[in-house]
Every structure is written in C-alpha cells, then in structure tokens.
Amino acid sequence: WPNSGGVLSDISPAARAPSSSPEEVMKWCRRRATSVEDWLPSEQLNELPSPQAFFGFEPGFRHLRHDQLLAYMKTLASRSDRVSIKDIGRTHEGRQLVHLYISAPNNIDNLDQLREQHMRDTLEGPLVVWQGYSVHGNEASGSNAAPWFAWYLAASEDPQVLAMLEQ
C-alpha cells in the first residue's frame, strides 16, 4: 500500500476503501476483512510465526490460556532481536508474570541503561509505552489482541514501524 500517513492508515482495509460515506467504508471493510491478518501488511512481515500459525487457530476464535500466551511471547523473544522477556513475579496461583519489551535491537540491548536514564527524569532516549493486556483475569480480549500486536511489532519491516521502535 502506498504510504498515506500513519501506521493504522497503511494497514487497515479502511485505508484501501473507496472514498465514500463512513457507512459505505464499513460495508467495504466487512466484505473484505475475514481475518485479523487482513488488517496487517503481510508482505511486510518476516518469518516469525503468526499467532494463528503458532496456536493453530485465530486468536479470538477461542480464549487463549495463560500458558499459551506465555509460550508465544517466549517464542517471539527467542527468535527476534527486537523482543525481550523478563520474569517479574508470580500470580497468587503461581503463574509466571512477565514484562515483554519490544523495541529496536539497540534499545533492547540497553534496557538497563534506558531505565536508569528514565529514572533520572530526563527527556532523552526512546519513549516508553506500557500496554497492559488483560490485567484482570476475566478480560479475554486483551489476551487475544496482545499476540497480534506483539507479532506485528516484532516482525514488521515497515519503515514507519522500524522508526517508531527506534524512538
């Protein structure tokens, strides 16, 4: 797709919809988007397994279990130099709690230095954005969205995504 302004405008079927009323755009999207992968620029993604390939079903079709989600995130971290995973504790049921870091490889290599820099309250260095998916046990949508977002950031070769990960 041509670069038309923003990551979302480049990846969504709505960005390719004919110019018309919002209702017509939604009808156009519903006819064309049959999978989450329809919303991603698949030609831009490398060899990391998509969530659908890893789980054997499209997230959202069934609820992901904690162990499935954790296994996928560990796979991304083991196969991508953009991803790091750190154990931060356990739930009251003994499940592993983690932070997943996704950034440019040079930022991943310097996470401790970047943390110290941010703790000094400087405005230098890359922006840190915390995404909390399913912070409550009965929130299924976050656990189903998280692998898609992580995969996209870890695998995309889109220049806008790469620039965002640097900053």
What confidence tens digit (pLDDT) does each residue in 124-143 have? Answer: 778 788 888 877 767 778 88
Write the pLDDT tens digit of every residue in 65-79.
889 999 999 999 999
The DSSP result for the chain, as a single string, is ----SSHHHHHSHHHHSPSS-HHHHHHHHHHH--SGGGGS-GGGB-SSPPHHHHHSS-TTSSPPPHHHHHHHHHHHHHH-TTEEEEEEEE-TT--EEEEEEE--HHHHHTHHHHHHHHHTT-S-S----------STT-HHHHHHHHHHHHHHHHB--HHHHHHHH-
Q: How far is CA 74 from CA 77, 86, 98, 124, 165, in A?
A: 5, 10, 10, 29, 19
**pLDDT for the residue 126:** 81
- Confidence (pLDDT) at 61: 82
Q: Report the mean per-residue pLDDT for the chain.
A: 79
Residue with tokens 């162990």, as numbered in its chain: 67
> Region 83-97: what's the mean pLDDT?
93
Measured CA to CA, the distance from residue 18 to residue 158 in angstroms comes to: 23
pLDDT for the residue 8: 41
7 has a pLDDT exceeding 50:
no
Instruction: Please state, for a pLDDT cut of 90, what percent of the chain lies above it.
Output: 32
Higher-confidence position of 9 and 153: 153
- Taking only the tens place, the pLDDT of each residue in 13-63 is 445 555 566 677 666 666 665 565 555 655 556 688 989 899 998 777 888
What is the per-residue pLDDT for 42?
55
